[in-house]
Amino acid sequence: MTATFTDTQKNSFRKNRGTIRQRIIRTLLVEPNGTLTKYKLAKTAQASFSWTHEFLNKLQNQKLVKDTQVTNYEGLINYWLQTKTNPEKKDYMHKNPIEIIQTANLPYALTTYQAENLVQHYLFPSRIDLYIKKEDADKWHKKVTAEGLVGKGNLRLLITDEHVFYGSFKRQNLTVVSIPQLIVDLLKEGGVCTEAAEKLFSKVEQHAISTN
């Protein structure tokens, strides 16, 4: 008997594979030197070894990696950009979003404008975007709306897979996403963020940026 799947099941399956694919790519770009074994990569990406092995073969056929070493960093960034799944977004306006972030006592990681400003100081932080855990969305909503408003403003919560925190680091006592995550998010944002991403990528190539 042939199994049949509903459209909802098919979409869920594609979304899960997309999430795992992003975890593997993120891990590779954070640790591109090939020091990870395939087993360690699979474990870090929270993926099965068989699926990780299959996906690595696909990337290797496209000359993006060799085993777990990234051989074409820019190419892998672009591959991620083309296949990236978008997080759920919630917009707010708040008079002091940085204070909310610092006092929330909840996991987060800044990206796009504010993160880039902390790392590279090229963009004006016109909007503060931060990744949060799905299970914390209601807690963040209550904290922000206690003194803020719902709707397009200066604060955006990005609700997604918590593996997005992998490789995150501190700047001025604020948590920032990994550099490859920041680059791909800036490219996804477009406009002046593309220029910032290109400058950041050049610094990565020159080993001129530190996450310590």
pLDDT tens, residue by residue, 10-24: 444 455 888 999 999
Sheet with 155-160, side-by-side order of all strands: 149-150, 88-93, 155-160, 128-133, 109-111, 174-176, 169-171
**Residue whose C-alpha is closest to residue 79's, from 187, 203, 211:** 187
Q: Can you give the pLDDT at residue 212?
A: 60
What is the predicted pLDDT for the residue at 18? 87
Q: Which of 83, 109, 141 is the last residue of a domain?
A: 83
pLDDT beneath 70: ranges in the chain = 1-15, 212
Asked if residue 2 belongs to a domain, the reply is no
pLDDT digits (tens, 9 = 90+) for 166-176: 999 999 999 99
The pTM of the whole model exceeds 0.85:
yes
The tokens for 4 are 């049949």
pLDDT given for residue 129 in this prediction: 98
Last residue within a domain, chosen from 57, 83, 109: 83
Residues 31 and 128 in one domain: no
Last residue of a domain, one of 37, 59, 83: 83
> How many domains would you assign to the chain?
2
Query: How far is 161 from 158, CA to CA, in rounded Å?
Result: 10
Asked if residues 20 and 157 have their Cβ atoms less than 8 Å apart, the reply is no
